[in-house]
Copies of this chain bind each other. A is one copy, B any other.
Amino acid sequence: MNVIGVIGNKNMSTKNKILDSAEILFADKGFNGTSLREITSQAEVNLAAVNYHFGSKKELIKAVMSRYMSELSPRLESALGALCSNDVKPSLIEVFSAFIEPLLYLNTVKENGTSIFLQLLGRGYTDSQGFLRWFLTTQYPNVFIGFTNAVHKAYPELSAEEMFWRLHFTMGTIVFTMSSSDALIDIALNDFDRQIDIAGVIKQVIPYVAAGVAAPIIK
């Protein structure tokens, strides 16, 4: 039994049926690219149900993201906080590895939850002209603060400006990779005959972003 919604259960609420269908379609085709009619017909509910239960499409998008963020945010905060609370200086690999457990936890909450969430995150940064970015940074600021603090502890020589850019590069790497992870995993399967899952992609990306953030400071 899932915490988020109930898969394949015909007795679940209209609200959750909509959320479950919406998140998959949003992840696949973007927020702008998915219509309410697609969502409601896949969820097998009436078209008007979205506006009845959520008010508008924009509020539905927020609700889809909040369902994941409410699970992720506290776990991420405590994992990052733990790195900063003791006296030993963490490595950047450790900082980025702090994301693994909370992110993979989403897989136990919902089938493919990790992948869906990261794809949604990617969509949110490119679709809809940044309104979702605003929503996340204002609604869950502690995640960003905790992350910044952890990176600063691991690499104090990095100036605020350099850290700003490198964290955004990192965000870009993760978000872009995940928003096209399905296609990339397909290519990897064809070209290298290697079955890879979302955890495998995360394992590949962490050394990359850790090295990027740790790059020598340019003069």
Contacts and interface: CB of A to CB of B under 8 A. Distances in A.
Contacts of A218: 203-204, 207
Nearest to A171: B176
A208 B177 contact: no
Interface stretch (A27-35, A47-55, A72-80): A27-35
Most buried by B among A30, A183, A215: A215
A50 to B, nearest CB: 20
A214 B129 CA distance: 33
Contact of A129 (B33, B165, B184, B192): B33
A29 B125 CA distance: 12
A203 B171 CA distance: 18
Interface string A178-219: 011001100110011010000001011101111111111010
Contacts of A161: 188, 191-192, 194
